[in-house]
Structure formats: structure tokens, C-alpha cells
Structure 1
Amino acid sequence: MVVASAPAKVILFGEHFVVEDKFAIAAAINLRAKVFADFNDSNFISISSDINSPNTIKIPINMIISGDIHGYSPSITPLLLILHEFSFKHHLLDRGVDISIKSEIPMGAGLGSSAAVFVAFSAAILKLYNVKFNLYDVIELASKGESLAHGKPSGIDATISAFGGILLYRRSQGFNRLNVKFNAPIILGITPEHRSTADMVNKVLKLKYKYPSIFNLIYDANDKIVEEAINALISSDINRLGELLNISHGLLSSLGISTLNLERLIYAARNAGAYGAKVTGAGGGGAIIAISNESTVSSILKAINDNGGKAIISYISDYGVNVDECSN
């Protein structure tokens, strides 16, 4: 049996701005999705998940190879597309496989839950079939699933999940790993609100096209914040980083992506001792992040829970996708 795991992610700075070729900083966190894979003696791929597919689904191998993968749930079809691409590019699916998916990453909160599953899924299949591969092969396969699930993603989620650590990203320049250590806790506050990333992106772009001269200044300010944030990360200045999170949230809020629930959690975290707090991801719901020292973590967790959020403590994950073989 093969087991692969991949981390969730948070956007520290730059969400929405990346759409217009501005800088963003993303970080992997130690909430992970796991995929278990093993051969079976049938002609079926069997997929079970604890996320949103409680029943085991069996798909004939020949249908996956031919690309006849329509009619399944939106959570399963991207996985079948990954298998189809794998069979076309890497190794013919010639044996049945049992696949089990388990994840501790909240869904729909802007934490890259689907990308983590796709990355772990891709790595598990590559390893199971004993294909020689690198992280870019994993990302390429996972991105097939991401594109089907989310349209035209930036690529941040799959890349940070594969590599881990902290990455600087700009669409026209790609990714650069920031060789910095950040050991402070990152506290998540999850709201019950559901939103569409595509809808939020379109909402911001519509406003930007209406007020281009104003938005150009806001977007340029984002790059200045990212520049300062890199220096703060290099010098391990958590207080400065917190202040920059607060400034970044102010910019994001001006774009119209915050909600009353998000603001309530952000101010609760700050009042409980966080150095800084902001929305992370597309907004309109989802999650906030707050950074603090260890002494104030419990009070921040309580404040978030008391104000209607679900609080989770996390830390930067320096490693991304991980693959092991284990006995049944």
C-alpha cells in the first residue's frame, strides 16, 4: 500500500491582486489530506472518501482510459481526470486500484483543500505504479483536477501543497521559495459562510474596471506590503508581520470581499492579543488568519469560537507532499 499526504495552504498576502500580475505570499500549513492506494484483483478503480462522498464508488478501468468519466459527482470527476491523464502520459491503468481519501482540511474555506487532495492523489498513483517522478510531475497531474474543479486557477494551491514552506508568487514570473523560518502559530478562524471564488474574483474585477486609477494605487500598495513582509519574515519580526497583515486586510476590505462575520473574527482575534489578523483567500466568507505568540493562543482561539467561528491552530509546514509505502 502507498500513502501520500499533502498540506493545506494560507495566503499570507496578495490574494485577488495576483489576478492582475501582482505579488502574493503563500504558505503551507500542517493540516493535511491523505490518500491511501493499493492494487486489487478487479478491473475497477474503487474510490472512497471521508470528505463528501461517504459511499465507495467503483469505476471500470476502460472507462477511465477512454475518458468516459462524465456523470459522476463534482468531487469525483476531477480525480478520474487525473487518472485518465496518468494513464495517457505515464502508465496505462492495467490493474484495479483501491483508493481511500481522508482529510483534516476544512472544505470551502480558501485553504486549498481540493488541491491538497489532488496533489496527494497524484503522488500516490505515481508511486503505486512505480513511475519515476518529480514535484513538477505531481503538480501537472494535480492541476488537471484543479482546472476541472475551479476553472483557471492561479496554480498557487497545487504548487504550495507540493513544495511546502513559504512561496513568493507572481503570475508573470512564477514561484520562488522563500528560505525563511517562521515558527509562530497561525490561527485559523473558519466562518460558516459559503462563497464562490470565481464570483468574488469577478466582483473585484468589475469594481476595478469601474475605478481603474484608484485600484491601480491599491494594487501597487499590495506589492509594497509584500516587499515589507519578506523583510519581516527574513528578520523573524512577528510584530511587524502582524501590522502588515492588518494593513493588507484593510486593502482587501476596500475591495469589497469582507463580511460582517469575517470582520467579527478578525477584531476578536486582534482584541485577544493577535499581532495581526486578516481574511485569507477569496473572501465573502471562508477563513481568517491571525498570528500571535504562544502565550496568547488560547485566548485567541476562545475569542474566535465565542464569536461564531471555528478556531484551528496551525503551523507552517516546511515540507509539502510526502509519499510512503506501508503494509496493509
Structure 2
Amino acid sequence: MRELATGQANGKIILMGEHAVVYGEPAIALPFSAAQVTATIQSAPEDWLDSSYFSGPLTKAPTALNNLKELLHLLRHDFATGPVICRITSTIPAERGMGSSAAVAVAVTRAFLAWQQVEETPTGLLQYVNTSEKIAHGNPSGIDAAATSGTEPILFERQQPFIPFPLNLDGCLIVADTGVKGKTRDTVADVAHLMSVAPTATKQIITRLGDLTREAKTAISANQSYHLGNLMNEAQALLQQLSVSNGTLDHLVQVALNNGALGAKLTGGGRGGCMIALASDPQSAAIIANQLTAAGAQETWLQALGCRPAVSAWL
């Protein structure tokens, strides 16, 4: 057992296919390493949690952290350890569709396994993370756990195995936070209402969003960043027709396009949360990010994609 051990995890974004995935179409999730969680584990006189959300004895942590409390209890039970102090730092905003809860569970589990000097396996890691996610979200798809612990894009469909594929794309992705919590429950319900009152037109939109997602996978694999940008733009127009965007998201999307983005769209549930934009190079990405901040984005992140060096090398 080490004195102190560290674990990390990425954020995640939905690149394409949100809402359509509810109706059996594919979606693409992308690990987003520009936003990360780091956790440390070490022995302590009593179980203790230190984070920006809560700092104190684990027994007094609020109910919103029950998933994390149960995860630590399970890990301690399985490895028969004494009390621990768990410290968590994160640059992933909560409730923005970026996989915050899953990333925390991944980072904590990795730190605990490293502390016990136990080799991490994908299956073992995901078992612990999905246990935490079930407490946090009831019946999670598992995509957040897979994306925040992985390094490749994932194509996923309901009740189908996840399909990782290479990120072979020049360019840079910008994520901008509107500062407003996403309203996934509301938007999913409203799309369902549209499906009931206007089934033919709504089904056509959903089917086209699925087609765009499949084309996006091909574009990513073939390093076709300009084509991917066009697909993102069409997807945003369709999501607007489904009423899941809003004025703030539409405004930030337009700001990105006006400043050289190849494509831009909302990501996740919509009516809040984040939007994403694709830039051709780091210099363009920096300009777009600055303009998004000037237009009201609360925070921006930049990530180089598969054919470029890490973002920290050029910013």
C-alpha cells in the first residue's frame, strides 16, 4: 500500500446524436481532456472528503454526494482498508453534460486502486464507476463512465455495445459553458411530445440526426474536419427544429461561426449547458474562445484533436 496515490479522469462531451439516441439512432461521445478531475487517496484517522463542494467527515457529506460515499465504502470494504482521506479537484462543471459525476468516480477509483497497488482493468474500473453512477442517476447508459475513463471517441446506440474508434482529425474543439444548467429532462420530454403530435416530421429529423452521426464518424476517421463542421451545423439546425436549443446557445453558436468556426452546435440536453465549436487550427480556436467569452460564455476550454499536439503545447 502506498502512502498516497493519485487518479485522474477526463470530462466528456456528446459530439453528435443527442436526443436522436433516445429513439435508437447512434451518438458520438468524445473524451474531453481539457477538463479533468484529479483525486488522491491516503490513510487517515477517519473517513474524510476534501472537495470544493464539501470538506469534512464523510459521514456528514450531503445527500448529493451519496454516490461518492457509497463508492468509497464499497472500495474500503472490498480491499479491507482502514479510513481514508479523499481529496478531489475538478475543472469539470457539474450539471453541464460533461460527465462530472462519472469522472469523479473514475478518478477516485483509480486513486484507490493505485493506493492499494492493484492493477487497473477496464472491467473492474467500470464496475465500480457504474455502481456510483446508478446511485447518482438511477439507470445510466454507461457512456459517461466509458468516455471519462477512455481516450477514443465512442459510437453508441441503445442496447448495443459501445464502439471506440480512432480520433484521426486535424483541428481543435472549443467548449463554451452558458453558465446555465442544462434541462435534459425537460427537453427529452418535449421531443417526446413532438413525436406524439407530429410523428412524421419529428421522425424525419431524428433519422437525419442519426445519419449525420454516422457521417461524422466517417469524417473523423478520414480527417475531414471541414465536412465534420458542415455536419455539426446541420445538426444544430435540426436540434433547433426540435426546440431543444435556446437564444443563448443560438447566440454563442453564431458568434463561433462568425469568427471562423468550421461548425458549431449545442452539446447534450440543450436549453443551457454547453455548446461546442470546431476550429481548423490553434490560432483560430483561441480567437473563437476569446469571442465566446466576450459574448457571455462563463468558461471555455480548448482541446487539440487527434492529429495535433496537446493543447498545452501551443497555448
Instruction: Tell me whether the two structures share a fold, i.e. TM-score over 0.5.
Output: yes
Q: Is the 8 A contact 1:25 1:168 kept in 2?
A: yes
Q: Secondary structure at the match of 1:297?
A: helix
Corresponding residue for 2:248?
261
Q: Is 1:301 matched with 2:289?
A: yes
Q: Which has the higher contact order (CA 8 A, sep 6+)?
A: 1
Instruction: Choose from 30, 34, 40 the match for 1:36.
Output: 40
Pair 287,172 (structure 1): closer, same or farther in 2 beyond 3 Å: same
State, as a whole percentage, how many aligned pairs show the same letter: 28
For the aligned residue pairs, the C-alpha RMSD in angstroms reads 1.9
The worse-fitting range, judged by mean Cα deviation, of 267-276 and 26-35 is 26-35
Distance (Å, rounded) in 1 between the aligned partners of 2:114 and 2:63: 25
Q: Is 1:7 matched with 2:10?
A: yes
Distance (Å, rounded) in 2 between the aligned partners of 1:260 and 1:297: 23
Pairing 1:224-303 to 2, within 5 Å after superposition? 224-294=211-281, 295-303=283-291
Instruction: Choose from 82, 86, 99 the match for 2:75.
Output: 86
Corresponding residue for 1:182?
169
Corresponding residue for 1:66?
none
Pairing 1:1-328 to 2, within 5 Å after superposition? 1-30=4-33, 31-40=35-44, 42=45, 44-50=46-52, 52-53=53-54, 55-59=55-59, 72-87=61-76, 90-92=78-80, 94-294=81-281, 295-315=283-303
Distance (Å, rounded) in 2 between the aligned partners of 1:243 and 1:206: 28
Distance (Å, rounded) in 1 between the aligned partners of 2:305 and 2:134: 25
How far did residue 205 of structure 1 move? 2.0
Distance (Å, rounded) in 1 between the aligned partners of 2:299 and 2:69: 33
- Which amino acid letter does the alignment assign opposite residue 81 of structure 1? E
Count of matched residue pairs: 301
Q: Is the 8 A contact 1:82 1:141 kept in 2?
A: yes
- Which amino acid letter does the alignment assign opposite residue 47 of structure 2? I
Deviation sequence 1:261-298 (CA, Å, 0-9, x none): 11110000000000000000111101000001223223
Q: Is the 8 A contact 2:168 2:222 kept in 1?
A: no
In structure 1, the gaps of 5 or more residues are 60-70, 319-328
Q: Is the 8 A contact 1:18 1:24 kept in 2?
A: yes
In structure 2, the gaps of 5 or more residues are 307-315
The worse-fitting range, judged by mean Cα deviation, of 277-286 and 17-26 is 17-26
- Which amino acid letter does the alignment assign opposite residue 36 of structure 2? R
The worse-fitting range, judged by mean Cα deviation, of 200-209 and 184-193 is 200-209
Give me the TM-score of the superposition, normalised by structure 1.
Answer: 0.86
